[in-house]
Amino acid sequence: MTVGYDAFDDPYAYKGTTTLRNKLGLRDTAQLEAFEIEMTTLRAGEPLPRGKFNALHYCRVHHHLFQDVYSWAGKYRTVRTAKGGNPFCFPEYIGSEMTKLFGTVPEILSADSSEDFIAEATRFLGELNAIHPFREGNGRSQLAFMAMLGEAAGFVLDFARVRRDSFMPAMIASYAGNLVPLSAELKSLLR
């Protein structure tokens, strides 16, 4: 699922292609995408790793989802990347930015109301997306982790109801600092 990422000489991809190196050796992007969706869907149906809702826990969730597809699952990317001309966190800062961001998780977990929870969750998710710590699989990892956070905080988010046509633009708007659409999307997912 490399479609949409800005082109660069990517050591994660097979030389001369945009197809990410993978455990099956698939060279066709469509086949890799289908395999990735199938395997991550199966893994998402299993219990996700439990933990302390810190950056290491988040990496374990990514590893769990993508372990069958990529050897680097659960490891921060080492290359600069962007989508739609918007650069994500430079790799040399990912570790410190993740530590800083995950230091704010207690504010999510201690939310007293659904409004406070949505405000904190929106801020967190927007920042996590801007960091984009992995070469691939950030969105699926974000949603799985946010579902776990919501459950732990007592505010269940039903990501099965995500509407891609409105959720993706909301994520893009959050990158530009506009959290209103993402807040509305998360609020619509509350059960």
| pLDDT over 80 at 9, yes or no | no
| pLDDT over 80 at 170, yes or no | yes
Task: Identify the H or E element spanning 174.
Answer: helix 164-175
State the Cα–Cα distance between residues 158 and 170, nearest whole angstrom: 17
Task: Provide the pLDDT for residue 6.
Answer: 55
- Sequence-distant (6+) residues with CB within 8 A of 66 are 36, 39, 40, 43, 73, 74, 136, 137
Summarize the confidence of residues 25-34 as an average pLDDT. Answer: 97
pLDDT tens figures, 51-108: 999 999 999 999 999 999 999 999 999 999 999 889 999 999 999 999 999 999 999 9
CA 88 remoteness from chain centre: 12
Per the structure block, which two tokens stand in for 115?
């409004």
Summarize the confidence of residues 157-181 as an average pLDDT. Answer: 95
Summarize the confidence of residues 107-128 as an average pLDDT. Answer: 97
Whole-number percent of the chain with pLDDT over 90: 93
CA dihedral of 150, 151, 156, 160, whole degrees rounded to 10: 90
Mean pLDDT over each residue of the chain, to the nearest integer:
94
What's phi and psi for 62, nearest 5 deg?
Answer: -60, -45
Task: Provide the pLDDT for residue 2.
Answer: 40
Q: Domain extents for the chain?
A: 29-189
| pLDDT over 90 at 1, yes or no | no
Q: Are 24 and 59 in contact (CB under 8 A)?
A: no
CA dihedral of 59, 63, 66, 69, whole degrees rounded to 10: 130
Q: Rounded to two decimals, what is the model's pTM?
A: 0.93
Task: Provide the pLDDT for residue 5.
Answer: 57
- In this prediction, residue 123 has a pLDDT band, given cuts at 50, 70 and 90, of very high
Per the structure block, which two tokens stand in for 159?
């990501």
Q: Are 13 and 20 in contact (CB under 8 A)?
A: yes
State the Cα–Cα distance between residues 137 and 41, nearest whole angstrom: 12
Radius of gyration for the alpha carbons in the chain, expressed in angstroms and rounded: 16
Summarize the confidence of residues 186-191 as an average pLDDT. Answer: 96
Specify the CATH class of 29-189 in words: mainly alpha
- In this prediction, residue 4 has a pLDDT band, given cuts at 50, 70 and 90, of low
